[in-house]
Structure 1
Amino acid sequence: MSTAVEPVQLSEPPTFRRDRRLHAWIAVKALSDAGDALWTIALAWTAVQTASPAIAGLIVAAGTIPRAIVLLFGGVIADRSDARRVMMLFNVLRVGVLVAVALWVLATPPTVGVLLFAAIAFGICDAFYEPSAGTVARQLVRPGDLPSYGALAQTASRLGTMAGAAIGGVLVAYAGLVGSAAVNALTFSLVVAFIAIWLRPRFLLARAARESVLHGIARGFAHLGTHPTTRTLVIALSGLNLAVGPAVGIGLALRAHDEGWGAQSLGLFEALLGLGAALGAVSVVKWRPRREALAGFWALVVQGVGIIALGWGPAWTVATAAFVIGATAGYASVLLSATFSATVDTAYLGRMGSITRLGDDCLMPVAMAGFGLLASITAVWVPFALFGGTMIALMVLPLSNRTFRRLALVPKT
């Protein structure tokens, strides 16, 4: 664990329960997530109406590749620049993209080119925005309050995303792509205003040295090689979704189809996943474990068992497993993200966050394809067993690590 340079405290944060500025930031961010979900629905719906299914799929996924290419550059910028300025700049650019798309569509019907432009531009903005946004928690709250912050922020984000998705279908039906773009532009504008006027860091993070971006990226990977605790956390967080993503993204649909349960069962499973994730995240506020990392990794062992359970049994056992997977995902994500923010050298926090996100962007398509291939050439339970078993096996490394077994974000008094 790197403790080379501790953050400098600029002001004393209020107690978490009374920190109104922090609560307002969480609410504003959730509102922005609702706008994003609304825009995603509008983009996908417009793409389906404008192009063939294959081209529509390409449009929806178009932001992934440029985001993956630029993400490491965004991590370097996050580690050597003012996070607030980076976040404001790229939210302003997002507003510009949305306004440009809305004006274009007002003048002429949407085209594949315009939709691709919007998806790619958002992907690039995300690649610069997210690494800097990932350092904000460490600038606002004490290490001991990071799990509570993560629990509340993740719960609010999930609720915002669910509400945005629900509203998005109605809005695009009545106001089209223009109305959806306008609403999302408003949410980004609110984020910019809040950051500019009210969001002020309480802890000053160490900054990385000024050097070429490529040298900065190389130094980030070298940091992984010399800091085993950080390396284990990055590997764990990079692989969090690679086992569960295909199981719930493809596997649940395959089971519902093969068993003849109907599309309504798939909707129920997805709802239980979301409910479980929200409850798992918010439970950290009420029942905080003494050793956060240890509890988080054990939760992922239970999640691995839940993934295996998805491949067998009637609908009610699958529904139960889906709820358990959601609950353990929300619980572990909060605890491990807090551990990550509290223990990674703050001069490398942006780059380490970029590497964890890069794992999802690059490896998730491979994991999805592999799950589907296994399901097509073997019995449907086989990929569930393999992916769930892999999740359990991967947890052996962090659970056997003495540092993680003893680590507590709030020192014992």
Structure 2
Amino acid sequence: MSTSGALRWATAYACSVGGDSVYFVTLSWTASRASGPAAAGVVLAVGAVPRALLMLGGGVVADRFGPWRVLIGSDLVRCVLVVGAAFAVVSRVHLGVLAALAAGFGTVDALFMPAVGALPPLLVAADQLARVQGMRVLAVRAANLAGPVVAGVMLGVGGATAAFLAAGALFGASLLGLMTLRIPRAVAALEADRSAWEQLGEGLRYVRQHVELRRLVIVVGLSELCFSGPIAVAVVLLVAERGWGSVTAGWILGAFSVGGAVVAGVMATLAGRVSRARLALPRTPALPRTPALPRTPALPRTPALPRTPALAGSLALTASLLLIWGALGRLGAVAVALVLGATTGVTAVLANARLQSAAAPRLLGRVTSVTTLCTLGLSPLLFPLVGVVAEAWGTGAFFALCAVVCGAAAIVSSRSTPSGRPTAAVADAPPTPARPRTPPRSPRR
């Protein structure tokens, strides 16, 4: 994919994530103002349940119809939902309307997230995936940094109606950007005669039977579990515990986003330069070879993947920083948040690039749905745990618990694939044709 196409995809994705951020802030604020904080929690839970339950099915849909079509449909439906909610809350906010909006949005999210992970390998070659993942992490961190600011401004200017309309405008911009993309790589469609359950079972067996993919799914799930929302809650509790004020919480969370965005941008730039340098190297003309006897076709090699030590090192450094985060002062907490954003950005780029390089293109939607379920599906279960641990032992104990999780991910990522076990590329390759047997010679007399 060209540079302009990559930037167009990253921009569309940033608009979509920004719309998500504005929507969630607006939904929480509106439900809390209408019926109290407990109602806001109920509304958010109504949206989280269908997203978790339907996530694996969303991977089947992405593989069946193609991730590009699913992304366009998801942005269109989300735009219609939030614009409809904007007009529904003009005069009065009804909790039932917000709950219906949350349920519909969560259902569409279950389709959107697997499709996002399945699209990059269709846009670029395997050696460009690290660059695209860097752009993806940059888009996510920048949108998460700007989204709450946009939501706060719009809520102050025009209330919930203006904020929902702003989210709808961002989804519309993402939709227009995706519609201008051209997909250079095609993937064979799923068999129409097979049921969705059979296709889902195929995807789950695929992940379970391949050592490399199974390890990468575990690493991605563990590395992103705490950072999919629980850490933000822990930071708010840490600030309240120390009496620092809400401004400090904003500085800490902002430093985390800035650190990740900077590192992701650097990795995307370096990956692009390395790939262009490889393409620009002149090739020495090969000498004519003596015709050789025909050989048995070899199995395709697994694409070159980023080295394991870099991934394990970033996870180990993340675990070390989490251990000291809760014991530092105000400036130290902001500085550690900046470095944590950088280390988690490196982990996200390397782990997701490896995952997409190892998985078969026709199964990417289902593979991505498994990793997304392990992160966004399980992370809401940690929100009550944050409060319980912080109240009993302090926020430092929860940071230590997250350090243990990241340390486990580092250990898993550092293990090499056992010899003799199939990798993803080998398992998807056609079987090697057997050589014809030479008839036995008759014994000499």
| TM-score by shorter chain over 0.5 | yes
Alignment correspondent of 2:184: 202
Q: Which structure has the larger Rg?
A: 2
Alignment correspondent of 1:47: 31
The Cα RMSD (Å) is 2.5
Alignment correspondent of 1:188: 171
Rounded to whole Å, the distance in 2 between the matches of 1:291 and 1:98 is 40
Matched, 1:383 2:398: yes
**Maintained 8 Å contact 1:308/1:384:** yes
Amino acid at match of 1:40: F
Alignment correspondent of 2:431: none
**Maintained 8 Å contact 1:247/1:307:** no
**Maintained 8 Å contact 1:244/1:307:** no
Matched, 1:374 2:389: yes
Which digits, 9 at most, give the CA deviation of each residue in 1:209-248, with x for residues without a partner? 3321222222222112211101111111112222445773
SS in 2 for 1:88: helix
Following TM superposition, the consecutive aligned residue runs of length 4 or more in structure 1 with deviations greater than 4 angstroms are 244-247, 286-290
Counterpart selection for 2:103 from 120, 125, 139: 120
CA displacement at 1:320 relative to structure 2: 2.7
Alignment correspondent of 2:21: 37
Rounded to whole Å, the distance in 2 between the matches of 1:47 and 1:123 is 16
Counterpart selection for 2:251 from 249, 265, 268: 268
Alignment correspondent of 1:81: 65
Counterpart selection for 1:178 from 142, 161, 165: 161
Rounded to whole Å, the distance in 1 between the matches of 2:229 and 2:153 is 29
The alpha-carbon distance between structure 1 residues 347 and 174, as it changes in their structure 2 partners (threshold 3 A), is same
Alignment correspondent of 1:251: 234
Deviates more, 1:376-385 or 1:220-229: 376-385
Which digits, 9 at most, give the CA deviation of each residue in 1:29-60, with x for residues without a partner? 22233233222222222212211210022223
Rounded to whole Å, the distance in 1 between the matches of 2:269 and 2:67 is 31
- The number of aligned residues is 387
Alignment correspondent of 1:157: 140
Rounded to whole Å, the distance in 1 between the matches of 2:38 and 2:114 is 31
Rounded to whole Å, the distance in 1 between the matches of 2:186 and 2:404 is 42
The alpha-carbon distance between structure 1 residues 285 and 132, as it changes in their structure 2 partners (threshold 3 A), is closer
**Maintained 8 Å contact 2:8/2:181:** no
SS in 1 for 2:219: helix
CA displacement at 1:173 relative to structure 2: 2.2
Structure 2: state its 5+ residue gaps.
275-304, 424-445
CA displacement at 1:380 relative to structure 2: 4.7
Rounded to whole Å, the distance in 2 between the matches of 1:55 and 1:247 is 20
Could you state the TM-score of these two structures normalised by the residue count of structure 2?
0.80
CA displacement at 1:199 relative to structure 2: 1.1
Rounded to whole Å, the distance in 2 between the matches of 1:215 and 1:380 is 44
Matched, 1:323 2:307: no
Alignment correspondent of 2:321: 306
Alignment correspondent of 1:10: none
Rounded to whole Å, the distance in 2 between the matches of 1:189 and 1:247 is 30
Amino acid at match of 2:356: S
Rounded to whole Å, the distance in 2 between the matches of 1:41 and 1:140 is 32
Percent identity, aligned pairs only, is: 25
Rounded to whole Å, the distance in 2 between the matches of 1:321 and 1:105 is 41
Counterpart selection for 2:357 from 337, 342, 366: 342
Rounded to whole Å, the distance in 2 between the matches of 1:169 and 1:158 is 18
Structure 1: state its 5+ residue gaps.
1-12, 408-413
Rounded to whole Å, the distance in 2 between the matches of 1:385 and 1:95 is 40
Rounded to whole Å, the distance in 1 between the matches of 2:344 and 2:226 is 11
Could you state the TM-score of these two structures normalised by the residue count of structure 1?
0.86
Matched, 1:23 2:7: yes
Which digits, 9 at most, give the CA deviation of each residue in 1:224-280, with x for residues without a partner? 221110111111111222244577334333433333333333222212211111122
The alpha-carbon distance between structure 1 residues 191 and 248, as it changes in their structure 2 partners (threshold 3 A), is closer
